[in-house]
Amino acid sequence: MTDKVLIVLSCGTDNPNRATRALFFAMVAKKEGKDTAVFLLDEAVYIAKKGIIENVQAATGDKADDHMAYLQEFGVPLLVCTPCAISRGISAEDLIEGASMATGDQLISMACESAVISL
């Protein structure tokens, strides 16, 4: 069994429930001592853009920003699909603290080493 967990998220403001849940599960994995990372692609790249996450909330009342703050505090990598971001007008300078652009090669490499949860 691996101690690495990779959360792959493809939705963002278009599905705040799933986006918030993904960040929640990343937080839980980190709290359980797992080497955790989050990879954002497609519409999920928007939640890594400054000023967006504050407005993402699940129907349960959970706020994505609260979970993201925990992930940032504990240095969980937030990897943003470069072509997905660029096609949506998001540059590296637009990203929140702790987020960085990443490639498909990085996603595959990480997925091969990790338990993967895709939302």
Tell me the per-residue pLDDT of 11-67, one tens digit each, with 9 for 90 and over. Answer: 999 999 999 999 999 999 999 999 999 999 999 999 999 999 999 999 999 999 999
pTM to 2 decimals?
Answer: 0.95
Tell me, rounded to whole angstroms, the distance of Cα 79 from its chain centroid. Answer: 7
pLDDT at 75 over 70: yes
Place of tokens 């994505």: 64
Count H helices and E strands in the chain, helices first: 4, 5
Give the integer Cα–Cα distance in Å for 109 and 86. 22
8 A C-beta contact, residue 63 and residue 47: no
Q: Report the CATH fold assignment for 4-118.
A: Hypothetical Protein Ychn; Chain: A, (3.40.1260)
Residues 6+ positions from 90 with CB-CB distance below 8 Å? 45, 46, 48, 49, 80
8 A C-beta contact, residue 30 and residue 74: yes
